[in-house]
Amino acid sequence: MTESAPRRLSQLATISVAELKNVGDRRRESLASIGIETIFDLLTVYPRRHVDRTRQVDLSDLTIGEEVAIFARVDRSSSRRTKQGRSMVELVVSDTGGSMSVVFFNQPWRDKQLPVGTQALFFGKVTDYRGRRQMSNPVVDVLVGVGGIERDPSRVGRVVPIYPASGKAGLTSWEMGGFIEESLRRAGAFLDPVPDAVLDELDLIDRTSAFRGIHLPEEYADITVARRRLVFDEFLRLQLLLVLRRQRLEETEAGVAHDVDVSDLDVTPGSLSSSDSSLVRRFLAQHRFALTGAQRRVLREIFTDLASPRPMHRLLQGDVGSGKTTVALASMLAVLSSGRQSALMAPTEVLAEQHASGLRRDLGDLRRPDPHVLGGERPLNVQLLTGRLRAKERAAVLEGLATGAVDIVVGTHALLTEDVRFDALGLVVIDEQHRFGVEQRAVLRDKGRGASRDAIDPDVLVMTATPIPRTAALVLFGDLDLSIIDELPAGREPIATTWCREPEEVAEVWAHVRAEAAAGRRSFVVCPLVEGSERVEATSAVEERDRLVAHELAGLRVGLLHGQMKGPDKDAVMDDFRSGALDVLVATVVIEVGVDVPEATVMVIEDAWRFGLAQLHQLRGRVGRGSAASSCYLLGEPTTEDGTARLEALVGSHDGFVLAEEDLRLRGEGTLLGARQRGRSDLKLAQLLRDGDLLVDARRVATDLVTEHGASGLSADLVDELRLFVDDDEADFLFKS
């Protein structure tokens, strides 16, 4: 490594850690075992935390119960086994102010790590054990070995970075720090691929200072600004890749500009009588209700996409009950106006059937132009395609799709089979997209070019009622445009949510269910999640229904719905519940998504704390869909802290987006982002909750850079850096000119 020319990250990624002074074969292997092979890998191992030695506590002023860092020397050390057979290493450590005991359970190797004479930082909570101050299982950073070999004095300065030590690889934080420090020193200055104007605007420091600031801070304040710059870089790279991918897709796609008119959306019910205007106008004029402001806004976004020749890739997020189906329907009609078909895919048969019958109802007697028939018009043709159709029915639907006699098809996975072909597929709508994989989305989209007579790439709209925070959406679905319905239809009463813990409260719940039934309204009872198979869960739902019928709900008409039932049986039960032939539906979580029964006003969730927060919010969303006041009752006593937190969150908010943020906080972003992490995952420092603003900035900068210059116009330095984070195939797709 020479020290003159500024370093690119890509260069550092070609230099092996073996180049470092203290790294021989053994260390190289240890580092490799935790994924660190190059200088670049090392420099992006960030400190787990920093310890401000100026704020370090003295043993003379310890407070019991406090978490502190103590720099002390090991005076005595012994190891033994406890009565339960656990290994225990016990130390007495001291500084000038006094002494305390430190114990480690099940960490026999501490014995060798911390011989008498070692000086180390111990972090942990101070407790009182039989009148003596003690820390058990503290985090340890050895600063001065037995021989008194001082670590580089600059590193034992005021702010000490603590790296993730690896017991398995036999690497201490101290050693990691040493390697990183040497790497930094020898790397010298870093090349900075981010334009100065961007750095100025966002008040970000240069890259060289950032790497130094996080690894070798002079003072605490250095860390914050350093971190901010490095986090921005992580986000910028990710967003550049997403925006580029998106642009590449558009270049390689053959879309079509549908003949839609955004001003059609201004029509309100009853405001129009002429029958010769567009389908969208006629639909809105005859509709049961006026669009909400939010529905109108997202439809404008969608119509603008439809009118453009590039295919739409849009994610529509809207809380449960916000009216996404109407948005989908208006979009399908717009596409139909230019003579193209639409396909709506739902995750379950119950939902597909509900959508099909809802669409037929909402379309009423709308007619579409048809030059082949007398009078030039015919009724709209909506068909259902699920795995349950008999061969003959199925053949008829397939025939209609291929000839263009069917305008809208609603279905399940059955839409994806090879024999489904279209005349002219113009729009694909996917409901509850989290239930489908990316590949299934692609299969349906490819029906446009691959299985349609007119071979275009259809527009794609994916809908979800499981809101994810906007920041998470930018990371997870950054290659989709985002529309959000952030308003519920007027007149909805909030759903009164109560967490019932006492037997008397639970008794009132059942009394309420009975009262609603007497008034002609309906209730759901959701059975506890049961570990094991769907069969076990079904059995327990059957038992619960029987128990309720025998006791709390005696005399009511109570139906049962679970995942093990046959399709037609499920339909029959849903029909009975919809029509009012049943008062109560006892169900497993199969009813979680989408089911729309406006007369249902009570949702009882047993052992509610076992469900995830998003799931609970979905379940609650099954009621409150009509104008009557609705209630949601959460039963059960949580056995976990998180369970309690989820129930409190649900009682405290009705807003799916607020709950999604809370869910992110409770579960951590690991679970959420897990699916996305592949290849060389680049979000090492960034945290969505903490750094959301920077992410939004990075998105904007990425979009500006790409639209300004196009892929080929990005600076060579940036492209060079991005290549580090994608595999060869992806790089070819993104960067070849």
At 600 the three-state DSSP class reads strand
Q: State the binding string over 359-398 for Mg ion (x if CB under 5 A, else -).
A: ----------------------------------------
Residue nearest to ligand ADP (CB): 323
The least CB distance from residue 203 to ligand ADP, in Å, is 40
Between 223 and 329, name the residue whose CB sits nearer to ligand ADP: 329
Q: Which does 341 bind (CB under 5 to 8 A by kind): ligand ADP, Mg ion, none?
A: none
Between 190 and 577, name the residue whose CB sits nearer to Mg ion: 577
At 141 the three-state DSSP class reads strand
CA–CA separation, 406 and 394 (whole Å)? 13
DSSP 114: S
Question: How many residues comprise the chain?
Answer: 737
Between 305 and 431, name the residue whose CB sits nearer to ligand ADP: 431
Q: Which does 625 bind (CB under 5 to 8 A by kind): ligand ADP, Mg ion, none?
A: ligand ADP
Residues contacting residue 613 through CB under 8 Å, at least 6 positions apart:
646, 649, 650, 659, 662, 663, 666
Tokens of 254: 């053959």
Q: Which does 295 bind (CB under 5 to 8 A by kind): ligand ADP, Mg ion, none?
A: ligand ADP
Q: Which does 42 bind (CB under 5 to 8 A by kind): Mg ion, ligand ADP, none?
A: none
The least CB distance from residue 600 to Mg ion, in Å, is 15
Element (H, E) at 576: helix 567-579
The least CB distance from residue 358 to Mg ion, in Å, is 9
N-term to C-term CA, the chain? 32
CB 437 within 8 A of CB 595: no
Between 347 and 594, name the residue whose CB sits nearer to Mg ion: 594
Residue nearest to Mg ion (CB): 594
Total of chain residues touching Mg ion, rule CB under 5 A: 1
CA-nearest of 431, 405, 427 to 349 is 431
Q: Which does 601 bind (CB under 5 to 8 A by kind): Mg ion, ligand ADP, none?
A: none
CA-nearest of 57, 66, 59 to 127 is 66
The least CB distance from residue 655 to ligand ADP, in Å, is 14
The least CB distance from residue 598 to ligand ADP, in Å, is 5
Between 347 and 559, name the residue whose CB sits nearer to Mg ion: 347
The least CB distance from residue 302 to ligand ADP, in Å, is 14
Residues 579-598 that bind Mg ion (CB under 5 A): 594
Between 296 and 421, name the residue whose CB sits nearer to ligand ADP: 296
Q: Which does 321 bind (CB under 5 to 8 A by kind): ligand ADP, Mg ion, none?
A: ligand ADP
Between 592 and 606, name the residue whose CB sits nearer to Mg ion: 592
Between 243 and 593, name the residue whose CB sits nearer to Mg ion: 593
CA–CA separation, 336 and 595 (whole Å)? 26
What are the percentages of helix, strand and coil residues in the chain, rounded to 5? Answer: 45, 20, 35
Is residue 621 a contact point for Mg ion (CB under 5 A)?
no
Between 183 and 292, name the residue whose CB sits nearer to ligand ADP: 292
The least CB distance from residue 603 to Mg ion, in Å, is 16
Q: How many CB atoms lie within 10 A of CB 45?
A: 19
Q: How many CB atoms lie within 10 A of CB 169?
A: 18
Could you give the angle at which helices 349-363 and 324-337 cross, rounded to 10 degrees?
60
Element (H, E) at 410: strand 408-411
User: Which own/partner contact pairs does 202-205 have at CB distance under 8 Å and 24+ positions apart?
Assistant: 202/232, 202/694, 202/697, 202/701, 204/228, 204/229, 204/232, 205/229
The least CB distance from residue 624 to ligand ADP, in Å, is 9
CA–CA separation, 8 and 112 (whole Å)? 41
Would you state the torsion angle of the CA atoms of residues 96, 97, 99, 103, taken in this order, to the nearest 10 degrees? -90
Q: How many CB atoms lie within 10 A of CB 53?
A: 15
Between 140 and 597, name the residue whose CB sits nearer to ligand ADP: 597
Token pair 């997020």: residue: 317
Return the half-sphere exposure (C-beta side, CA atoms, 13 A cut-off) of residue 692.
Answer: 11
Identity of the amino acid at 528: P
Q: Which does 129 bind (CB under 5 to 8 A by kind): ligand ADP, Mg ion, none?
A: none
Q: Which does 320 bind (CB under 5 to 8 A by kind): Mg ion, ligand ADP, none?
A: ligand ADP
Q: Where along the sequence are the contacts to ligand ADP (CB under 6 A)?
A: 289, 291-292, 295, 318, 320-326, 465, 489, 596, 598, 625
The least CB distance from residue 323 to Mg ion, in Å, is 9
Between 292 and 337, name the residue whose CB sits nearer to ligand ADP: 292
Between 256 and 351, name the residue whose CB sits nearer to ligand ADP: 351
Q: Which does 471 bind (CB under 5 to 8 A by kind): Mg ion, ligand ADP, none?
A: none
The least CB distance from residue 429 to Mg ion, in Å, is 11
Q: Which does 322 bind (CB under 5 to 8 A by kind): Mg ion, ligand ADP, none?
A: ligand ADP
Q: How far is CA 503 from CA 78, 554, 632, in A?
A: 54, 18, 17
What does DSSP say about strands 425-430 and 459-464: parallel, antiparallel, or unpaired?
parallel
Q: Which does 145 bind (CB under 5 to 8 A by kind): ligand ADP, Mg ion, none?
A: none
The least CB distance from residue 429 to ligand ADP, in Å, is 11
CA–CA separation, 574 and 540 (whole Å)? 20
Between 295 and 433, name the residue whose CB sits nearer to ligand ADP: 295
CA–CA separation, 705 and 707 (whole Å)? 6
Q: State the binding string over 538-577 for Mg ion (x if CB under 5 A, else -).
A: ----------------------------------------
Q: Which does 598 bind (CB under 5 to 8 A by kind): Mg ion, ligand ADP, none?
A: ligand ADP
Q: Which does 317 bind (CB under 5 to 8 A by kind): Mg ion, ligand ADP, none?
A: none
Q: How many CB atoms lie within 10 A of CB 42?
A: 24
The least CB distance from residue 318 to ligand ADP, in Å, is 5
Between 177 and 656, name the residue whose CB sits nearer to ligand ADP: 656
CA–CA separation, 639 and 610 (whole Å)? 9
CA–CA separation, 188 and 224 (whole Å)? 21
Cα radius of gyration (the chain)? 31
Using CB under 5 A as the criterion, which residues of the chain lie in contact with Mg ion when the complex forms? 594
